[in-house]
């Protein structure tokens, strides 16, 4: 046991009797810079102006917004006695008004945090004088029965109303107490932020008030009790004896973590401009999905009503096609971890301009992505001449060149087709079912005119002509008079007796199809 400062002998004797570490008053924490807005992190490092994530490891959080619900894993409390709700540090807070007031949470696996390495107890509290029940100080803030606890209390200091008290108790017997208390750090009738941590790895119990470390004691490897009923604002008979005590004042944002928070994280909590217990209300996109099949995988976070990430959220997030065409595959439901759902293997085949994804989670407002495909957007005007669109069969002579005339609403240049198109496939002449794979056509060389484009430029010397290429399957031309394209498809005599589909898939992802029945005669 270490005594940090010289005190009157009677106080030292009391401290030794309780195994306490006594600390002197400390200065107030520095002023903090705050950041808000969509995508902002919940906590802001004091003086830095840099967004940082909220602490991980939060297993329970009661914000007192008109109920005793736990916003993390649903370990809701039960209110007993004279407990009400009043304006608090953030929104509303629990108000403890008489002896017997209590918020009790039944034991559960999640809150039995000392199965692991450490614990953090954290709360905002506004003490209003002596506790309800005969005890020095304003009374219990958070407490496991016969276990870990934080209070405004002391039997060491002359002014227990100013003392922050933590006990990482292993039992209700005095030899199982591990107490760190510091005087002169709690102010009555104003909001104080109190935190106590313990880690088996470090062996330290550490206490903080308003973001500043005020006490620390090395205790080695111990086992604070965390598998008993948990109380906000109360000690009930059966915990450390048969006496009932109730905190006199307000408590807000009561939290339990399954690890010891760092000094920087505690400071961020104390400096936070908003509650870290705000409930999740909506989803947001951190990384937009893009491309087809998907070159950029989406990252989604869970946010509160202010657009701040809710770091304790563990909601499952499911993705689906929201608009446009395409087939979605891969892992479509991902569990959020620390408020973030990261998708890794989604694919969308057949996406077009206007294909979007929707991300949803039960009870939360969904979010929709931008279009997966960006690029040109064509206004299809239809086929022209004697040509009918599928499912009609157009009867033509095998070996004849077929003019497939269509309009995209104007001159869109020569590079109107998606890679691998136009393409044809054999189909059934009776059911129109596909009987073979799509086979891309090659662009045909043509030099019978005076108006042509290539990939990088075009010139107009006359009315119509073809793009020039080295293949023999088709030619493409555009008429500036009627604003129509004509695809010239050179068919084969061997097509006689067969039926084929001509598939035009364009660079904007849209697709049009015409069916043809071939014979030796027109």
Two structure tokens written together for 120: 């953090």
Q: Please give the pLDDT value at position 274.
A: 79
Q: Please give the pLDDT value at position 443.
A: 55
Smallest Cα–Cα separation from 504: which of 453, 440, 443, 452?
440
398 and 492 in contact (C-beta within 8 Å)? yes
Give CA–CA dist 27/212, Å, rounded: 8
Tens digit of each residue's pLDDT (9 = 90 or more) over 50-67:
334 458 899 999 999 999
pLDDT at 511 over 70: yes
Of the candidate ranges 107-111, 227-231, 329-333, 413-417, the one whose mean pLDDT is the lowest: 413-417
Q: Which string of DSSP letters, residue by residue, matches 488-505?
A: EEE--GGGTT-EEEEEEE
Beta strands 22-23 and 179-182 are parallel
Confidence of residue 509 (pLDDT cuts 50, 70, 90): confident
Q: Please give the pLDDT value at position 295.
A: 84
Inter-residue long-range contacts of 382-388, CB under 8 Å, 24+ positions, other chains counted: 382/406, 382/407, 383/512, 383/514, 384/484, 387/514, 388/514
What is the rounded average pLDDT of the residues 460-472? 40
Sequence spans of domains, the chain = 9-30+59-267, 282-368, 382-519
Tens digit of each residue's pLDDT (9 = 90 or more) over 244-286:
999 999 999 999 999 999 999 999 999 988 787 778 899 999 9
What is the rounded average pLDDT of the residues 221-231? 96
- Give the position of tokens 């953030």: 90
Q: Please give the pLDDT value at position 448.
A: 38
Q: Please give the pLDDT value at position 470.
A: 33
Tens digit of each residue's pLDDT (9 = 90 or more) over 455-464:
333 333 344 4
Spelled out in words, what is the top-level CATH class assigned to the domain 382-519? mainly beta
What is the rounded average pLDDT of the residues 496-517? 93
Q: Which string of DSSP letters, residue by residue, matches 323-366?
A: ESS-EEES--EEE-BTTEEE--S-EEET--BT-EEEEE-TTSB-
Two structure tokens written together for 72: 């993390």
What is the signed CA dihedral for 373, 376, 377, 379, rounded to 10 degrees? -150
pLDDT at 180 over 90: yes
Q: CB 408: neighbour CB atoms within 10 A?
A: 20
Confidence of residue 155 (pLDDT cuts 50, 70, 90): confident
Measure CA of the first residue to CA of the last residue in the chain; give whole Å: 106
Confidence of residue 33 (pLDDT cuts 50, 70, 90): very low
Tens digit of each residue's pLDDT (9 = 90 or more) over 378-406:
889 999 999 999 999 999 999 999 999 99
Q: Do 282-368 and 9-30+59-267 have the same topology in CATH?
A: no
pLDDT at 465 over 90: no
253 and 192 in contact (C-beta within 8 Å)? no
What is the rounded average pLDDT of the residues 480-491? 93
Above pLDDT 70, what percent of the chain?
84
H-run or E-run covering 268: helix 263-271
CA distances from 54 to 29, 150, 199, 209, 227 (A): 19, 22, 19, 18, 26
Confidence of residue 330 (pLDDT cuts 50, 70, 90): very high
Q: CB 462: neighbour CB atoms within 10 A?
A: 11
- Bridge partners of 87, per DSSP, are 92
Q: Is 412 left (phi over 0), alpha (psi -120 to 50) or beta?
A: alpha
236 and 48 in contact (C-beta within 8 Å)? no
Two structure tokens written together for 42: 């919940």
Cβ-count burial of 521 within 10 angstroms (0-12 exposed, 13-18 middle, 19+ buried)?
exposed
Q: Please give the pLDDT value at position 423.
A: 94
What is the rounded average pLDDT of the residues 207-222? 97
Q: CB 112: neighbour CB atoms within 10 A?
A: 17
Smallest Cα–Cα separation from 155: which of 18, 24, 21, 247?
18
As a whole number, the mean pLDDT across the chain is 84
What is the rounded average pLDDT of the residues 273-302? 89
Smallest Cα–Cα separation from 4: which of 15, 152, 210?
15
Q: Please give the pLDDT value at position 377.
A: 79
What is the rounded average pLDDT of the residues 355-373? 94
Residues 6+ apart with CB under 8 A from 477: 449, 451, 464, 465, 466, 467, 485, 486, 488
DSSP 8-state class, residue 136 = S
Q: Please give the pLDDT value at position 126.
A: 98
Q: Please give the pLDDT value at position 173.
A: 82
Two structure tokens written together for 515: 């069916």
Above pLDDT 90, what percent of the chain?
64
pLDDT at 36 over 50: no
What is the rounded average pLDDT of the residues 501-515? 91
Q: Please give the pLDDT value at position 24.
A: 36
Spelled out in words, what is the top-level CATH class assigned to the domain 282-368? mainly beta
Confidence of residue 242 (pLDDT cuts 50, 70, 90): confident
Of the candidate ranges 49-53, 167-171, 507-511, the one whose mean pLDDT is the lowest: 49-53
Q: Please give the pLDDT value at position 54.
A: 57
Q: Please give the pLDDT value at position 38.
A: 28
364 and 315 in contact (C-beta within 8 Å)? yes
| CATH assignment of 9-30+59-267, among 2.60.120.200, 3.40.50.10490, 3.10.20.30, 3.40.30.10 | 2.60.120.200
| Gyration radius (Cα) of the chain, Å | 36
């Amino acid at each position: 046991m270490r005594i940090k400062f010289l005190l009157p002998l009677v106080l030292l004797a009391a401290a030794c009797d309780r195994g306490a570490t006594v600390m002197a008053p400390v200065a107030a924490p520095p002023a903090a810079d705050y950041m808000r807005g969509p995508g902002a992190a919940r906590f802001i490092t004091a003086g830095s102006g840099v967004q940082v994530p909220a602490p991980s490891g939060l297993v329970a959080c009661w914000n007192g917004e008109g109920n005793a619900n736990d916003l993390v894993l649903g370990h809701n409390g039960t209110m007993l006695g004279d407990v009400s709700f009043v304006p608090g540090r953030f929104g509303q807070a629990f108000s403890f008004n008489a002896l017997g007031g209590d918020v009790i949470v039944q034991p559960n696996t999640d809150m039995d945090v000392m199965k692991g390495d450490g614990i953090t107890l954290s709360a905002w509290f506004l003490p209003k004088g002596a506790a309800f029940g005969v005890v020095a100080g304003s009374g219990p803030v958070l407490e496991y029965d016969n276990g870990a606890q934080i209070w405004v209390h002391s039997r060491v200091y002359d002014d227990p109303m100013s003392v922050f008290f933590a006990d990482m108790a292993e039992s209700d017997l005095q030899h199982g107490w591990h107490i760190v208390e510091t005087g002169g750090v709690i102010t009555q009738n104003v909001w104080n932020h109190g935190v106590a941590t313990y880690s088996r790895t470090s062996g330290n119990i550490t206490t903080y008030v308003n973001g500043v470390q005020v006490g620390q004691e090395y205790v080695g490897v111990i086992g604070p009790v965390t598998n008993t009923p948990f109380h906000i604002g109360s000690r009930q008979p059966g915990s450390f004896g048969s006496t009932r005590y109730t905190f006199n004042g307000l408590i807000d944002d009561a939290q339990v973590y399954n690890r010891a928070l760092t000094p920087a994280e505690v400071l961020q909590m104390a400096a936070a401009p908003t509650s870290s217990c705000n409930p999740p209300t909506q989803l947001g996109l951190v990384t937009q999905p893009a491309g087809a099949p998907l070159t950029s995988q989406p990252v989604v976070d869970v946010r509160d009503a202010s657009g701040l990430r809710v770091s304790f959220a563990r909601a499952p997030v499911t993705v689906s096609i929201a608009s446009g065409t395409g087939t979605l595959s891969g892992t479509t439901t991902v569990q959020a971890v620390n408020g973030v759902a990261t998708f890794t293997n989604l694919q969308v085949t057949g996406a077009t301009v206007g294909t979007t994804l929707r991300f949803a989670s039960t009870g939360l407002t969904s979010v929709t992505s931008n279009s997966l495909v960006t690029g040109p957007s064509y206004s299809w005007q239809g086929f022209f001449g004697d040509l009918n669109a599928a499912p009609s069969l157009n009867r033509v002579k095998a070996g004849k060149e077929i003019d497939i005339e269509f309009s995209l609403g104007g001159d869109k240049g020569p590079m109107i087709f998606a890679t691998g198109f136009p393409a044809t496939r054999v189909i059934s002449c009776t059911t129109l079912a596909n009987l073979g794979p799509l086979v891309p056509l090659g662009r045909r060389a043509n030099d019978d005119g005076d108006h042509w484009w290539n990939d990088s430029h075009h010139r107009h010397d006359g009315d119509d002509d073809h793009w020039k290429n080295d293949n023999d399957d088709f030619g493409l031309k555009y008429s500036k008079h009627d604003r129509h394209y004509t695809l010239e498809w050179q068919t084969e005599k061997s097509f006689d007796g067969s039926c084929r589909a001509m598939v035009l898939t364009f660079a904007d992802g849209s697709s049009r199809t015409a069916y043809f029945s071939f014979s030796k005669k027109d």
